[in-house]
Amino acid sequence: MENKKRSFFERLTGSINAEEELTSKKNYLENIKDNNGNKKNNDWIEEENEEAELSIDVYQTPTDIVVQTMVAGVKPEDLELSIARDIVTIRGKREENRNIDEDNYFTKELYWGKFSRTISLPIEVEPEDVEATEKHGLITIKIKKVDKEKKNTVKVKSI
C-alpha cells in the first residue's frame, strides 16, 4: 500500500480515507484465521437481516400533522402503524411473489423485505385521532394536533 499524505481533516479527526478503510477491511477479512491457525475462507460475508428505511414527507396543516410515504406493492394487512404523543412508527414487509432464477436477471434494483421508519414529531398529537389512507401506493396519515388552547370548565359537585 502506498504511503499517501493524509488531509488536514483526516489528521485532525484521526479519520481515514474511505478507500483506505475498505482496503484495510478487505485485508483483515482475507487474513482471518481459525483457532488452529488455518486461513478461513471469507469469499462472502453474510448480510445482516436489517430493515430498509422508508422515505417520508411530514408537514402540518392548521389542525393536523400529515405523514406521507410510498409503499407500492404492500398489502394493507402487511403494514403496522403505531402512534404515540410525539412519535410515529411505520413498519411493513414487501414480499416478492415471483420465482425467477437469479441467472435470468439483467438488473435487480427493487427492494423486497422488511422496512420501517420512526419519526419524532415536532408537535404533540392525539394518538387516538388518526386517519390513514392508501391510494396507488401512497400512504397518507393525518394525525390531529393536541389543542393546547382548548379549555374545559368543570363544575364542582358537592357530595
Dump pLDDT digits (tens) for 96-125: 777 888 888 888 888 888 999 999 998 899
Strand 113-120 versus strand 52-53 pairing type: parallel
Indicate if 27 and 62 belong to the same structural domain: no
Q: 38 and 84, same structural domain?
A: no
Q: How many domains does the chain have?
A: 2
The pLDDT tens digits of the residues spanning 58-99 come to 999 999 999 999 998 888 888 999 999 999 999 999 887 778
Q: Is residue 155 part of a domain?
A: no
Q: What is the pLDDT of residue 45?
A: 45
64-70 vs 138-145, strand pairing mode: antiparallel
Whole-prediction pTM: 0.61
What separation, in Å, do the N-terminal and C-terminal C-alpha atoms of the chain show? 87
Question: Does the structure show a pLDDT above 90 at 16?
Answer: no
Residues 31 and 100 in one domain: no
**In 3-72, beta strands by DSSP E:** 52-53, 56-60, 64-70
Q: Give the domain CATH number at 57.
A: 2.60.40.790
Q: Which structural domain range is residue 122 located in? A: 52-145
